[in-house]
Chains A and B, each alone.
Chain A
Amino acid sequence: MTAISENHPIEATGGERVDTPFRRFAAEFFESKVATGALILLVVIVLAALFAPLLSPQNPYDLAQVSILDSRLPPGEKSMDGYTFLLGTDGAGRDLYSAILHGLRISLSVGVMSGIIALLVGMAVGLAAAYWGGRVETVIMRIVDLQLSFPAVLVALILLTLLGKGIENIILALVVAQWAYYARTVRGSALVERRKEYVEAATCLGLSHNRIVFRHILPNCLAPLIVVVTVQTAHAIALEATLSFLGVGLPQTEPSLGLLISNGFEYMMSGRYWISFFPGIALLLTIVSINLVGDQLRDVLNPRLKR
């Protein structure tokens, strides 16, 4: 922000660190050991998902590498050609560890994609409502209220019933189920910002509507939005897993964590717990780490809690 921090990013006088807003933010964030741990875990999970093809010992969807003879092996068993399955194998003989890494990739990308699109839609709608007011606002907020009175899982379930399975369909369903949360958040904070003097000043300067909305109001609404993004992304990942489990989400060709759990369910009764258990743990760790990071972000970004 300031000229000082740009010219001397690391050290100023006497080895003391320059106090930039970001650094203050980071320092406050890392005060909590739990949140720091969660952030590290989240980074590891994201990296694991990104580099899944490199990290997994087997491509679980390459039929040449999978042998049906290895199916349903418990964790630690060796395969026909001597490779040890750390987390066991599933019903088709796939290495569960590799399948989880690949599933994580699909789950995360569906969650993040739908989160970004819902964010953009909700942000545009929320800003429009707050800035234009009047009839536009009334209509938009009526729709938002109406939608928020139905649980997201129901909205997504109805949509997927209508649309059918598929990765685009589930992203669309998640966007429709979630945009309203973003719209409400953005409108709430934009309404507060709109009445402030700097907006009045900008209007007096004759700046265009676009410039005022996107360069002046929006940046000041970002803090609460970031928190909603983290929470809603965790929600989207859980929702996708639930819908896939119910058989209305992703097709078998896109095996997300939810589908892996679902596929393991039939083996549960015969005591083969690991096929559902380990993908579930991966899903749980992902969701918990995102939620914990989100919680800490909320505390740090909330000016009312500033000491």
Chain B
Amino acid sequence: MTVYIIRRLMQSAVVVFLMSVIVFFGLHVVGDPVYMFASPDAPQEEIEKVIRQFGLDRPVYEQYWLFLKGALSGDLGRSYVFGEPALKLITQRMPATLELAFVALFLAVVLGIPLGLYAGLKPHSSVSRTIMAGSILGFSLPTFWVGIMLIMVFAVMLGWLPSTGRGDTVTILGIEVSFLTLDGLSHIFLPAFNLALLKISLVIRLTRAGTREAIHQDYIKFARAKGLSTSRIVGLHLLKNILIPVVTVLGLEFGSLIAFSVVTETIFAWPGMGKLLIEAIQTLDRPIIVAYLMMIVVVFIVINLVVDILYSVLDPRVRLRDQTV
């Protein structure tokens, strides 16, 4: 197992390195950020000043070498727009994104599991059919359009919930959070629900499939024969067994929640990392784009590794081993 983890870490390092090469050199083909910050008819010396300031007067490979040296000591360059370290800007925005993702995950569990259980226990009732039709719709609806429609109905037409920003925040352990104030909670609900929609559908399907399979197994029949109440059978015996796949899948999906938050944050003007990325793409703020992409690659590699290791801990039948190359 230790050997496996070491090898995986080495492979991950190679992937991160390759990604940095692709992203860095790829970005230098697109557009010229200089003219985003100096007007084209500015005097030549001013344009050259901007070029020197960004370090763009050096050849690309030298720029990459400087970036790599900086990256190893935790410096991913300075934002062209804000003039601050890119990593600092991203870590400042990270709590907002993580909060959104966690609330979405919470909604997926709290709404998805009961609905899935119901649909699994009474597969032929009309309520169950409605739930399943809803979950198909949840899979098909494009996230961004649902977000726009949520704003239209709840913010514009009904005026119940605000549609932009984080609202009032409270600082806990140095991190600002929205979900502990009433105003913050009203701000986070729509974006979190929007982000959660796909995952709710997924959890409903997983829970329903698990329930329908488990309900015919011997331990359930035995529990029934013992005369246990239905709520105890479902709440204890059944739920415990169907939770394993649901938890694994949700763990794996957490990364995709962070990826999709780019869309949700743009719609709801939620001040997280995703919105920062989209703004950076529009202004060609290369250091931010590179830093964000590198960070998200690392996050994904870590999530995948943790899930693989947890899997082998939870289920002893799974053996982690190297496929021989």
Contacts and interface: CB of A to CB of B under 8 A. Distances in A.
B148 A284 contact: no
Q: Sorted from nearest, which 10 A-B pairs have the closest CB atoms?
A: A162-B26, A151-B256, A280-B145, A154-B259, A151-B259, A288-B140, A238-B142, A287-B140, A245-B144, A164-B30
A12 interface: no
Secondary structure call for the A interface: helix
Among A162, A163, A280, A291, max chain B CB count under 10 A is at: A162
Contacts, number: 107
Contacts of A138: 323, 325
B263 A241 contact: no
Secondary structure call for the B interface: helix
B296 interface: yes
A135 interface: yes
A264 B148 CA distance: 10
Interface string A32-61: 000000000000000000000000000000
A162 B137 CA distance: 33
A246 B262 contact: yes
Interface of B: 15, 22-23, 26-27, 29-31, 136-137, 139-145, 148-149, 151-152, 156-157, 255-256, 259-260, 262-263, 266-267, 278, 281-282, 289, 293, 296, 300, 304, 323, 325
Contact of B27 (A151, A154, A161): A161
12 contacts: A149-B304, A151-B256, A153-B256, A153-B259, A157-B259, A161-B289, A242-B143, A245-B144, A258-B142, A283-B142, A283-B145, A287-B141
A151 B149 contact: no
B295 to A, nearest CB: 12
Interface of A: 135, 138, 146, 149-151, 153-154, 157-158, 161-164, 234, 238, 241-242, 245-248, 258, 261, 264-265, 268-269, 271, 273, 276-277, 280, 283-284, 287-288, 291-292
Contact of A162 (B29, B140, B266, B325): B29
Contacts of A264: 148
A242 B26 CA distance: 22
A284 B15 contact: no
A271 B325 contact: no
Given A164-B31, A268-B152, A288-B137, A242 B142 contact: yes
A260 to B, nearest CB: 11
Contacts of B142: 238, 241-242, 258, 280, 283-284, 287
A170 to B, nearest CB: 14
Nearest to B136: A291
A135 B278 CA distance: 40
Contacts of A151: 255-256, 259-260
Contacts of B259: 150-151, 153-154, 157
Given A135-B325, A161-B27, A291 B139 contact: yes
Nearest to B164: A269
Contact of B144 (A158, A234, A241, A291): A241
A276 B323 CA distance: 50
B136 A273 contact: no
A277 B255 CA distance: 30
Contacts of B29: 162
A258 B142 CA distance: 10
B23 to A, nearest CB: 7
Given A158-B23, A280-B148, A242 B281 contact: no
A158 B140 contact: no
Contacts of B278: 246-248
A150 B304 CA distance: 10
Nearest to A276: B148
A163 B23 CA distance: 11
Among A138, A157, A234, max chain B CB count under 10 A is at: A157
B220 to A, nearest CB: 24
B30 A154 contact: no
Given A158-B293, A246-B266, 19 more contacts: A150-B255, A153-B256, A154-B259, A157-B259, A161-B27, A161-B293, A162-B29, A163-B30, A164-B31, A245-B263, A247-B278, A265-B148, A268-B148, A268-B151, A268-B152, A277-B152, A284-B142, A287-B141, A292-B136
